[in-house]
Amino acid sequence: MRNLTPLGHARVFRHPETGELVVDTDSLRRTHFAGFDDFGGWDDDDLEGYDDDLEGYDDDDVGLFRRDPERQRARRERRMGRKRSRVDRRYKRRTDRLDRKAEKWGLDDEDDDKPKHKKHGGDDGWGMTAVGGTDTLTAAGGASVRIRLQHDFRAEDITFTGSAPGALVTSIFFGDRVVWSAPDGIDVSVFASNGFLRGLLKGQQIQAGLDVTINGSVPDAGVFTATLTGRKPVRNAC
């Protein structure tokens, strides 16, 4: 039995009279090549029936040349997930940057449900301050006061106490931005602390390092003085 050579698979019958086993060689299917001597050479009859066994098969049936739809769908979902993550990160960075600017300038919406961050040194991190300047003229003519801000500034009011009588105010600039203008000029007395024109600059803001410029004129030799009151950031040393 150890010397038997496997020839393949075939139908086997038992002879009804002798009881001997009979092999149907026409149905023989080889599992591997056993050599030409075992079968007396190859011919077309040796492969008879194989075409019928594989009938109906093509490349798509075995998935050799077609992508798996499930894998394609999973790949698309992963790609879209990564894209959404990138968009979310960019949106968060942008909103965080806007929140920081709004907090810096005190522009948080009062109706916003998000808790406001408190800073040391004040209820909102800003404290009262005043800045000013003077232009001295030896004769009648135009005057200009330029105030260089050393800190961020949120204006509340402006006065011209100390200016020469009859002096006029024609324009106020915050940086390059005109915040108030009257080409014909307004008398400085209108801006008095007990005058009716109060809070003219309330809400106007300017960053540190920029200039507040007030232009006007005086009718004779004298001074043109401007004082702005407002708020600046307060940072307590810890």
Look up the CATH number of the domain holding residue 164: 2.60.120
Query: Which pLDDT score is estimated for 95?
Result: 83
Measure the CA–CA gap between 185 and 166, rounded to whole angstroms. Answer: 11
- Determine, yes or no, domain membership for 191: yes
Residue ranges of the alpha helices (H) in the chain? 36-39, 50-53, 59-62, 69-105
Radius of gyration of the chain from its Cα atoms, rounded to whole angstroms: 48
Q: Which domain holds residue 188?
A: 126-233
Q: Are residues 200 and 168 in the same domain?
A: yes
- Determine, yes or no, domain membership for 51: yes
Smallest CA-to-CA distance from 157 within 186, 128, 182, 177 is with 128
Query: Which pLDDT score is estimated for 119?
Result: 47
- Determine, yes or no, domain membership for 1: no
The low-confidence residues of the chain, meaning pLDDT below 50, are 36, 38-39, 49-55, 57-65, 110-111, 118-122, 237-238
Query: Which pLDDT score is estimated for 128?
Result: 92
- Determine, yes or no, domain membership for 210: yes
Q: What is the DSSP string of 1-20?
A: -TTPPP--EEEEEE-TTT--
Query: Which pLDDT score is estimated for 121?
Result: 44
Q: Are residues 89 and 13 in the same domain?
A: no
Query: Which pLDDT score is estimated for 31?
Result: 63
Which residues, in sequence order, are bridge partners of residue 231?
128, 154
Query: Which pLDDT score is estimated for 32?
Result: 55
CA distances from 28 to 19, 45, 51, 52 (A): 21, 10, 15, 15
Q: How many domains does the chain contain in total?
A: 3
Query: Which pLDDT score is estimated for 144?
Result: 94
- Determine, yes or no, domain membership for 79: yes
Q: Are residues 139 and 222 in the same domain?
A: yes
Domain boundary among 41, 62, 83: 62
158-176 confidence digits (pLDDT tens): 999 899 999 999 999 999 9
Across the chain, what does the average pLDDT equal?
77
- Determine, yes or no, domain membership for 3: no
Residue 149 · residue 231 · CB < 8 Å: no
Three-state DSSP class for residue 209: coil
> What does residue 170 show for φ and ψ, rounded to 5 degrees?
-110, -30
Q: Are residues 150 and 94 in the same domain?
A: no
Residue 14 · residue 22 · CB < 8 Å: yes
